[in-house]
Amino acid sequence: MKTTVQTLQGSRIGHFIDGAFVAPRAGVYAPSYDPTTAEPWYEFAQGDAGDVDAAVRSAKAALLDPAWRRMTQTDRGKLVRRLGELVLAHAEDLAQLECRDNGKLIKEMRAQMRAIPDSYGYFAGMADKLQGDTIPVNKLDTLNFNLREPIGVVGMIIPWNSPLMMLTGTLAPCLAIGNTVVVKPSEHATASALALAELVIEAGIPAGVVNVVTGDGATTGDALTRHPGIAKYVFTGSTDTGRKIAGNAAGNLVPCQMELGGKSPHVVFSDVDIERAVNGVVSGIFAAAGQTCVAGSRCFVEAPVYERFVEALVERTRRVKVGHPLAEDTDIGPLALAAQLEKVEHFVGSGVREGARVAVGGRKPQDEALARGWYYEPTVLAEARNEMSFMRHEIFGPVVGVMPFSSEDEMIALANDTEYGLASGIWTRDIDRAMRFARNVEAGTVWINTYRSAAFMSANGGTKKSGYGRRGGFEVMREFSRLKNVVIDYSGAMQDPFVIRLR
């Protein structure tokens, strides 16, 4: 794997098309910034419509090439498994890349690199288990069956938070099915997708099956989502961008899978162990500096324990260590980009103006060593109200609003009073209540007495403005394959050509 922190430093990197790095046709590059210093550290190709077209053509040619098309499912599965093994073999280099590119914690990235190979292994095992079915139609001497086939060239647009993990969730099943792909990583975290593309070739997957075009959303992403050669899009990112992509895709009548933003409710009842619930809430909002789609950013606490809970949350939050992402004892690294830091500052400011109280945090860390980076202290805004601006918009930063509630009905109304519907969490010992919450909350995922407990074996995704379509489990295999219905008449009988055969 040539793409490492050491080789990238101070250099330029092109797109990965048809199994090799290529320079952008227009010769334009853009800087990638190190979030710990706000300084550029390498340049990536800024793709235009011509680059995107070359990548889609490469993927289309690979789709039709017998080397991929006529490969048995079992052999395809072996290659997908091999790709996972290579990720494990290069885990440290990949983890370092993610840290440097977007400020992810080294300890979290090492853990992700250990989990990602399992995900490739899981979907590799499904390659030869995707099957159609025979349909008992009411016609004699007729065999009617469904074939499951690859859908075609899949366009994948991914965000900067945990890019390799996000990519794996759909790349692994897409490859297992026999699709080919064009990936556009985020302009804020380009390197790991390019490194993975190298491993794809090393695994023995034919050139052109996986292509990576880099660049920003407005140019490269827009060109990809307008390209007529794409059969389906998978997008992970913000709701606003999702709207644009779905609009472009509609122009070509192409379906999308949308994994969008969230403003997830995290509920605490007074019957729980407060320390445990506090820990869950901290993990739900401050992990990855709040830059997770499932962040539990609206915390609703039952009134009798509200004061005690806020006190305990503040005390635990003070112990969260903000620091350099490469330090083993760091809990929160920097935000991945300058605009993200500005957004956090904006919403904390508006929250205070609207009457919330900064219980802890609410500023950049005072540590001189962190002064140049895009760091922000974990922040608890108490006495929040659901109608406050910071409680309505996805911040994607380490900010949680906490407010009391008095009844279960009120809590459900508050939890659902949002345009989003991605994740939700509840802490209670009352199983009946927990199940009522699970039934009534408008969210794709419900966590009971836990939070951010992810698994690639179970299907997950959003409702409302958090998106549509599901990833994980066998569900994703259905989403990225297509049914074809085949009918065989073995009666040998002559039919009246002007009468449709209904029986």
CB of 409 to ligand NAD, least distance (A): 28
Q: Which of 99, 174, 256, 293 is catalytic?
A: 293
CA distance to 154, 179, 232, per residue, from 479 (Å): 11, 12, 10
Determine the Cα–Cα distance for residues 215 and 221; give it in Å rounded to an integer: 7
Smallest distance, ligand NAD to C-beta of residue 252, A: 14
Between CA 447 and CA 266 the distance in angstroms is 9
Give the C-alpha separation, 79 to 217, whole Å: 31
Check binding of 394 to ligand NAD (CB under 6 A).
yes
Measured from the CB atom, the residue of 21 and 468 that comes closer to ligand NAD is: 468
Distance CA 209, CA 181 (A): 6
Q: Residue 374, SS3? A: coil
**Catalytic residue list contains 259:** yes
CB 262 within 8 A of CB 294: yes
Residue span binding ligand NAD (CB under 6 A) among the ranges 101-109, 147-155, 157-165, 173-181: 157-165
The verdict on 260 binding ligand NAD (CB under 6 A) reads yes
Could you tell me the two tokens for 495? 């039919």
**Least distance between ligand NAD and beta carbon 160 (Å):** 5
Cα separation, 72 vs 127, whole angstroms:
9
The angle subtended at Cα 99 by Cα 93 and Cα 100, nearest 5°, is: 90
Query: Is residue 47 a contact point for ligand NAD (CB under 6 A)?
Result: no
Work out which of 160, 309, 375, 376 binds ligand NAD, going by CB under 6 A: 160
- Of 180 and 186, CB closest to ligand NAD: 186
Q: Does 433 contact ligand NAD by CB under 6 A?
A: no
Q: Give the binding range for ligand NAD (CB under 6 A) out of 40-48, 237-245, 364-372, 373-381.
A: 237-245
User: Does position 236 bind ligand NAD by CB under 6 A?
Assistant: yes
Check binding of 333 to ligand NAD (CB under 6 A).
no
250 binds ligand NAD (CB under 6 A): no
User: If binding is defined by CB under 6 A, does position 103 make contact with ligand NAD?
Assistant: no
**Cα Rg for the chain, rounded, in angstroms?**
24
Minimum distance, C-beta of residue 124 to ligand NAD, in the bound complex (Å): 22
Q: How many whole angstroms separate alpha carbon 190 and alpha carbon 453?
A: 27
Task: Assess 18 for contact with ligand NAD (CB under 6 A).
Answer: no
Nearer to ligand NAD, 101 or 394 (CB): 394
Kindly state the tokens that stand for 29. 């590059």
Alpha carbon 126 to chain centroid, angstroms: 21
In 3D space, the residue among 414, 382, 367 whose CA is nearest the CA of residue 317 turns out to be 382
Q: Which two tokens stand for residue 10?
A: 């101070």
**3-state class of 489 per DSSP?**
strand
Considering only CA atoms, which of 481, 476, 467 is closest in space to residue 159? 467
Q: Is 422 in the site for ligand NAD (CB under 6 A)?
A: yes
The stretch among 116-124, 234-242, 355-363, 427-435 that binds ligand NAD (CB under 6 A) is 234-242
The interface with ligand NAD within residues 167-196 (CB under 6 A) comprises 184, 186-187
In the window 193-222, what residues touch ligand NAD (CB under 6 A)? Answer: 216-218, 221-222
**Shortest distance, CB of residue 496 to ligand NAD, whole angstroms?**
52
Residue whose tokens read 């949350």: 313
Q: How far is the CB of 186 from ligand NAD (least distance, A)?
A: 4
Residues 287-316 that bind ligand NAD (CB under 6 A): 293
- How many residues form the binding site for ligand NAD (CB under 6 A)? 31
Of 244 and 478, which CB lies nearer to ligand NAD in the complex structure?
244
- At closest approach, how far in Å is the CB of 48 from ligand NAD? 13
293 is catalytic: yes
CB of residue 257 to ligand NAD, shortest distance in Å: 10
Query: Burial, 353: exposed, middle or buried (Cβ in 10 Å; 0-12, 13-18, 19+)?
Result: exposed
**Residue among 97, 52, 365 at smallest CA distance from 211:** 52
Phi, psi angle pair for 498, to nearest 5°: -105, 10
- Restricting to residues 395-414, name those near ligand NAD by CB under 6 A: 396
CB-count exposure of residue 138 (10 Å: 0-12, 13-18, 19+): exposed
- Using CB under 6 A, list all residues that contact ligand NAD: 157-161, 166, 184, 186-187, 216-218, 221-222, 225, 236-238, 241, 244-245, 259-262, 293, 394, 396, 422, 462, 467
User: Which residues carry out catalysis?
Assistant: 259, 293
